[in-house]
Structure 1
Amino acid sequence: MKLNKSKFTLALIACFLMLAACKDKPESDVKADATVTEEETTSVADEQIPKAARTVEDMIIQSAGKLVEAHMDPEIEAARTVNWVYYHRFYEDTFKGIMEKELPTYVEEHPDLSADEIYDYLVYQLGSGQYSIFYDPLTAYAHGYVMPELPEGEDEIEIAKRQQTNVVILMDASGSMKAEIGGESRMSLAKQAIEDFTSQLSDDVNVSLFAYGHKGAGTAADKQLSCGSIDELYPLGAYNADSFAKAMDSFQASGWTPLAGAMEKAHNYLASYDKDGYRNIVYIVTDGVETCDGNPVAAAKQLHDSEIEAKVNIIGFDVDDEGQSQLKTVAEAGGGEYATVRNPSEFEGVLIKKWKPSMMQVMNQQGVKLHELVHQKEALIAIHDPLTNLSDRETVRITNAVAELKKKKFIDDEKANEVIEIAKEMGEMRSEHFSKIIEQKSEEARQAKDEIDAKVEAWKEKWSAELEKDE
């Protein structure tokens, strides 16, 4: 196809104009363009090589080598030992070729470099800049073991010490308390347990003792007398051993059981001690149910629902099944608990309400669990492993570079050996330092584990012995 004549002429003119412009361009402009090109291709020969670190502290914060920074992914350089193939393949297939191409120029242009200066240059090109990424977490590492909660619970005495507390003991002195258990009367055993309990109260806990049903002979003729016999024998106040013992000795098992009447008496007695300022606890020690025609459930509920909000705890002493059912209902109405006992040790334990764990709690309690131990070791390795790999790989890169420079006659055998010695010395210095920290952290974890395990074991032995006694 033929071009339009006018268009061809215009194109020809444009070409002549461009050639003229090039011919007329100042020489200085041409040189400027040449200078830019030279700067872009300036070799490392003109760079100032910094002194390489010679202490672990300085090596930790060193910058990444120029070639490492430009060509190596940080994740590949720090690949864990289990993934060593990632680093190995990249290093062998790619990075070694880059080293062999880039490194000789500087050494060739500086033939008088000392071994130290060659090492400085190789660190400048091949050093790792990731030490602090793993070193800082290593030095800050904590094993994470925590002492498990070893529940001890609180008994009524310990709870009472935290708040102004009034303890009113209503002692059943009906005739049935004369019955014997193991050669001693229920009354005698109950008195012993109550005195043990009250002797443990602190001075800021007020205690009072009432006896009910302690008059009469338990006959129909003296029922009215006995049911009306609800007397304060130890006035509400701090415990005094001599006075309390005298009060205990002042009555014996005798008549009927005015259970409801005793609670009504306690209600009136505590009326001025409201729940906002006091903690009111009523202990009823009895071996049977109401026998004076009262309504103990209603009396217990009124006592608990009133402004004094007293808690009614009932300890049934060798009570039959029917009696236990009735007394449990009374205790629940009074916001408290019912427990039956059949021997002195049980009586004392229930009265003081000693807390005990279940056998299952004791059996299942552990110190440092296996998965915690495994996690701790894995977490430490996860930090240490890349750190040592970074150090070892830096050393290998430098020694391989030296071998290549020696092979190509850029440095002699003596100088090559000196540089390799420096690289190995620095690598060993790093490794020893990292290992010491690992040993320290491992020892801290071991000591913490041993301490936790020992405390847990002591707790388990204590409560195993306690629970075995109860069997």
Structure 2
Amino acid sequence: MNILKRGAILVCILSLVVIAACAKDQTQTENRKSAKATKAEETAEDRIPTAARTVEEMVDQKAGVLVEKHMDQKLETLGGWDGQQYLDFLENTFNPIADKEFKAYFTKHKNLSGEQVYDFLVHKLGSGNYKNYYEQLVAYEHGFVMPELPNGEDEVTTKQKKMNVLVLMDASGSMKGRIAGKTKMELAKEAIAKFVEQIPDDANVALISYGHVGSSADSERMASCSSVDSVYPLSAYQAENFTNSLRSFQASGWTPLAGAINKAGEILQAYPSDDYSNLVYIVSDGVETCDGDPVAAAAQLQSQNIKAKVNIIGFNVDNEGQQQLKQVADSGGGEYVTVEDPAELEVQITKKWQPTIGQLVWTQGVTMQQMIKAMERMNQIYNPLFTASDAEWNRIKHAAYFLHDEKLIADDVEKQVLQLADSRHELRNQHFKEIKKDKESEREQTEKEINAKVEEWRQQWKKE
């Protein structure tokens, strides 16, 4: 073999050596990068944030990683029978996911202290519901207001708001029924005529009839249910005009009670409660038959700025009708009474409903309905907050028991984790309870003060 050939072979061999060396270097470089990346990931995984230790920190706490990823957080705030949905979700879905991840993590990370384990579990299982409900709890107000209590005749005259009186007359076919020789419609009209004669001179009155079109036949239901008319528009009382309005309709069709209440609300929109006392009076002998929701309609009158109070007289009403009409009156912040005969009807309308200065004596303090609503608002805030705290506590305890059963943490570590979970749970809940107790004490104290002053004022008026 000549020198040139041997040189060419040598060059080839050297090239192959260089290529192999380069490939080896590249592989080593990639391995080092991969190792660094793995080490960086492990380091990031090891950097578990310290769990909240104070109430303030716990309130600001974000949802745990697993909770945020796998759980609808509203689930953990459900109480009562609905709480079973959360328990079923834990057992069937969430706990198997969490247990698998914890087993993998603690198989790699052994000999952690109790605090480190607790921090990890809060990082994964903590509740993110505290802040929203806590802020509502701190901001909670009972909403009770001292009613206006005039102290003398001059004050009664100057402080009494101008009055709007809306009378809603059921003109459904059932009002054709006869009692003591007259129809219920005739008897109701006579009583209402006497009632409006006694309203204050500066008061406005309106007469709304409903269900007075068509008949009780199915074919005329739509027309009848849409028949709600202000037959005497809201204005000063004029006897002749009002009498003519009473005569302008007769008992006829279906019962759109909700529609009539909504109509009253539309009329009163221009009369805010700051300047007007808005009163709605209903005479009816039965329930809604037009698929409306009179309870919701009456509640709407109370929730709007008109604050219209709904009072109802049920005239010769069956048990089902009485129950619904009472619910409507309760929802509208008014009173319900039932009467069976003409004499009783006249007494209830002309005496109990009489909106004169004497009505001031009926002024109430904090009503049972107001108290119940205030308590319900508190429960809607406090119960989810308390339930979320319990849910986090139980998730952490379940995880600690699981890790101990799997021999991934020692006895003393399990004990320390449980102690930390118990102490943080108690710290949270005690703080929440104290705020609730203070708010309830304030509510009860205000209720007593208002009721005492109203009763004192009422007794003063009785003496006079």
State TM-score, norm by structure 1: 0.47
Structure showing greater Rg? 1
State TM-score, norm by structure 2: 0.48
